[in-house]
């Protein structure tokens, strides 16, 4: 087991030599550590006081499941709860944990198992650690990676903070990831601070390993192959996260999984129409028609021909460094770290993820596209040089029309961008807190703006194509852009 020689005895670092039978060293804590900032002091007027009345014949009356505080995932405040010492809603504060036991797993380091039968819904243990800012979490995450720590112990707490259980934590730090988990994390408000608990999703018999879905966002770093053994296993820790998918470019063919190294171009002539298209383009270098396609292959014809394409079975490929540099630079800024258990990227909030990835100005231009054979390919959305395209049109009217459409498209894009800036706090809060959905009004506003932008793009592209296809003076009329038309069409689209 490696040890940081510079650390004080209370701050020993690495506990993750998975081959070691020794119990990992860390400082066991049962309350979060607030060295980084002070614990919030709740004002008396902010105390949540329930209306429960303790009835000796009904033990559940003392802050059971119908308690207003329990219903809002808030613990009662000692000294202020009407049920006094009988209050059952102070489980985090009183460390009312289920019995658990550490054990050594096969290939996944240490794990935690139930040392008693645990009923569905029961609070098992708090995930304790050091409460740190996101910035500090990002810094530590990178530092741990450099130090060679294989295990990840940082989870997200809220939009701005994380819990790091690497050096100090509770036994919850040993709970492994499962793609078919019997536990889940839930956030509770305890005396004004958010705390994370592990709760049973189902009845868990004694001796069963505890596991929850880490669900973390994955941006770079070593990939960890998931060994949870579930039939629905996603293959890698964090594999379901958007970050992981952008980073790794992974696809499956029955039981085989593949990663693509270097620039992940898909280069199958059999189902790739743009190969033929690019041949045509070669004969007309002045007009870069590939730029006009909404979702075409990566780069220009020249890039396409010169870029190597390497596919290897994951068994033989080191997991690091599959990333495209361009993307890395982009994600580094907004990067979260692999340890984030609170990030859900489920179908439920897929829309929010799309909101982020569709954002004008800050979007990743890389997309994964699914072809008819089920394989994914990364494609790049190329920008049309509209002014250059317009110059190629011989009729002045046609040129003006194209430029007008471009203006409408730009307006729609900047509207979407400013809307995104406006609602970003709500989206980010939603993502960090793993809520099921954002406010409907936010979603509606967003969808409307997205539709308008898409329509404006469509109008622009069809105008260019139409004006190129039609020689001046033929019967091909020029559709005039009109905001009113847009509105009518949007209604139609969203009805
Ligand atoms: C929070 S720690 C869990 C405790 C850890 N097993 C230990 O020995 O300290 C998370 C780390 O455990 C390992 N791990 C957890 N779940 C895993 C899984 N399903 N498959 C493979 N490794 C897993 C990974 O190295 C991960 O970064």
Structure ipTM: 0.99
- pLDDT for 191-217, tens place per residue? 999 999 999 999 999 999 999 998 766
Q: What is the mean pLDDT of residues 290-310?
A: 27
Q: Between these two residues, 195 and 476, which has the higher pLDDT value? A: 195
Q: Between these two residues, 276 and 187, which has the higher pLDDT value? A: 187
Q: Between these two residues, 62 and 472, which has the higher pLDDT value? A: 62
pLDDT (0 to 100) of residue 197: 97
Residue 132 has pLDDT above 50, yes or no: yes
Domain boundary among 159, 189, 205: 205
How far, in Å, is the centroid of ligand 1 from the Cα of 461? Answer: 49
Residue 376 has pLDDT above 70, yes or no: no
Output 314-322 pairs: Cβ under 8 A, ≥24 positions apart: 314/225, 314/257, 314/258, 314/259, 317/259, 317/261, 319/222, 319/223, 319/224, 319/225, 319/259, 320/221, 320/222, 320/223, 321/261, 322/247, 322/248, 322/249, 322/259, 322/260, 322/261
Domain boundary among 205, 233, 263: 205
How far, in Å, is the centroid of ligand 1 from the Cα of 18? Answer: 9
The two three-digit tokens of residue 492, written as one number:
């139609």
Range of the domain at 431: 388-495
Which residue has 């645990």 as its token pair? 118
User: Residue 178 and residue 209: Cα distance in Å, rounded?
Assistant: 10
Contact 237, 338 (CB under 8 A): yes
- String of DSSP letters for 287-299: S-GGGGSSSB-SS
> What confidence category does residue 351 fall into, taking pLDDT thresholds of 50, 70 and 90?
very low
> What confidence category does residue 374 fall into, taking pLDDT thresholds of 50, 70 and 90?
very low
> What confidence category does residue 383 fall into, taking pLDDT thresholds of 50, 70 and 90?
low
Pick the residue whose CA is nearest to atom 22 on ligand 1: 108
How far, in Å, is the centroid of ligand 1 from the Cα of 124? Answer: 19
Q: How many domains does the chain have?
A: 2
How far, in Å, is the centroid of ligand 1 from the Cα of 154? Answer: 12
The reply to whether 363 falls in a domain is no
pLDDT (0 to 100) of residue 89: 97
Contact 129, 164 (CB under 8 A): yes
Which residue, among 130, 123, 95, 98, has the nearest Cα to 112 in the 3D structure?
Answer: 98
How far, in Å, is the centroid of ligand 1 from the Cα of 151? Answer: 6
pLDDT (0 to 100) of residue 390: 79
How far, in Å, is the centroid of ligand 1 from the Cα of 177? Answer: 6
End-to-end CA distance of the chain: 62
Q: In the chain, count of helices (H) and strands (E)?
A: 11, 17
Ranges of H-type helices in 300-439: 301-306, 325-334, 350-357, 386-391, 396-433
Q: Which atom of ligand 1 is nearest to the CA of 24?
A: 9
Q: What is the DSSP letter of 477?
A: P
The reply to whether 60 falls in a domain is yes
pLDDT (0 to 100) of residue 382: 54
Contacts of residue 96, Cβ cutoff 8 Å, sequence gap at least 6: 90, 123
Contacts of residue 362, Cβ cutoff 8 Å, sequence gap at least 6: 420
pLDDT (0 to 100) of residue 406: 86
The reply to whether 156 falls in a domain is yes
How far, in Å, is the centroid of ligand 1 from the Cα of 109? Answer: 6
Pocket of ligand 1 (CB under 6 A): 15-16, 24, 108-111, 150-153, 173-174, 176-177, 224, 226-228, 237
- pLDDT for 387-423, tens place per residue? 887 777 778 888 888 888 888 888 888 888 877 777 7
Q: What is the mean pLDDT of residues 443-452?
A: 80
pLDDT (0 to 100) of residue 183: 97
Domain boundary among 156, 183, 205: 205
Which of 177, 213, 229 has most ligand 1 atoms within 8 Å of its beta carbon, as the pocket-test mutant?
177
Q: Which atom of ligand 1 is nearest to the CA of 226?
A: 20
User: Residue 15 and residue 48: Cα distance in Å, rounded?
Assistant: 39
The reply to whether 229 falls in a domain is no
Q: Which atom of ligand 1 is nearest to the CA of 175?
A: 3
Rounded to 5, what percent of the chain is helix, strand, coil? 35, 15, 50
Q: Which atom of ligand 1 is nearest to the CA of 152?
A: 27
- pLDDT for 1-24, tens place per residue? 333 333 322 223 333 444 446 777
Contact 227, 108 (CB under 8 A): yes
Q: What is the mean pLDDT of residues 139-147?
A: 89
The reply to whether 409 falls in a domain is yes
The reply to whether 480 falls in a domain is yes
Q: Which atom of ligand 1 is nearest to the CA of 214?
A: 16
Mean pLDDT across the chain: 68
Percentage of the residues of the chain whose pLDDT score is greater than 90: 32
The CATH number that applies at residue 191 is 2.170.270.10
């Amino acid at each position: 087991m490696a040890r940081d020689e510079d650390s004080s005895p209370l701050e020993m670092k690495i506990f993750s030599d998975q081959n070691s039978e020794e119990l990992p060293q860390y400082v066991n804590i049962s309350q979060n550590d607030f060295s980084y900032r002070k614990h919030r002091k709740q004002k008396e007027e902010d105390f949540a006081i329930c209306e429960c009345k303790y009835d000796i014949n009904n033990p559940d009356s003392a802050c059971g499941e119908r308690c207003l505080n329990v219903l809002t995932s808030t613990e009662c405040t000692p000294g202020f709860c009407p049920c006094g010492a009988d209050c059952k809603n102070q489980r985090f504060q009183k460390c009312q944990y289920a019995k658990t036991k550490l054990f050594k797993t096969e290939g996944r380091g240490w794990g935690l198992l139930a040392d008693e039968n645990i009923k569905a819904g029961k609070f098992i243990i708090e995930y304790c650690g050091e409460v740190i800012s996101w910035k500090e979490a990002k810094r530590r995450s990178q530092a741990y990676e450099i130090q060679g720590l294989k295990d990840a112990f940082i989870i997200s707490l809220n939009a701005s903070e994380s819990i790091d259980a690497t050096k100090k934590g509770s036994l919850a730090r040993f709970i492994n990831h499962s793609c078919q988990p019997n536990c889940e994390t839930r956030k509770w408000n305890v005396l004004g601070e958010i705390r994370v608990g592990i709760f049973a999703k189902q009845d868990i018999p004694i001796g069963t390993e505890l596991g929850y879905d880490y669900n973390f966002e994955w941006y770079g770093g070593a990939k960890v192959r998931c060994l949870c053994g579930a039939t629905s296993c996603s293959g890698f820790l964090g594999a379901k996260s958007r970050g992981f998918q952008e980073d790794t470019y992974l696809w499956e063919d029955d039981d085989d999984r593949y990663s693509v190294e270097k620039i992940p171009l898909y280069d199958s002539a059999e189902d790739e129409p743009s190969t033929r298209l690019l041949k045509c383009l070669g004969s007309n270098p002045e007009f870069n028609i590939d730029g006009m396609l909404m979702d075409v292959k990566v780069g220009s014809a020249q890039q396409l021909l010169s870029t190597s394409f390497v596919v290897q079975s994951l068994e033989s490929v080191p997991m690091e460094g599959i990333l495209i540099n361009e993307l890395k630079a982009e994600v580094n800024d907004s990067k979260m770290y692999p340890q984030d258990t609170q990030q859900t990227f489920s179908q439920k909030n897929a829309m929010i993820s799309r909101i982020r990835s569709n954002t004008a100005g800050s979007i990743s231009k890389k997309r994964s596209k699914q072809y008819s054979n089920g394989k994914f390919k990364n494609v790049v959305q190329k920008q049309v040089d509209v002014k250059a395209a317009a110059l190629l049109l011989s009729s002045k009217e046609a040129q003006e029309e194209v430029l007008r459409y471009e203006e409408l498209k730009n307006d729609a894009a900047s509207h979407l961008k400013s809307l995104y800036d406006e609602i970003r706090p709500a989206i980010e809060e939603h993502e960090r807190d793993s809520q099921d959905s954002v406010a409907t009004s936010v979603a509606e506003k967003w969808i409307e703006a997205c539709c308008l932008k898409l329509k404006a793009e469509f109008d622009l592209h069809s105008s260019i194509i139409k004006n190129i296809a039609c020689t001046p003076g033929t019967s091909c009329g020029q559709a005039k852009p009109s905001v009113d038309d847009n509105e009518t069409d949007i209604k139609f689209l969203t009805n």
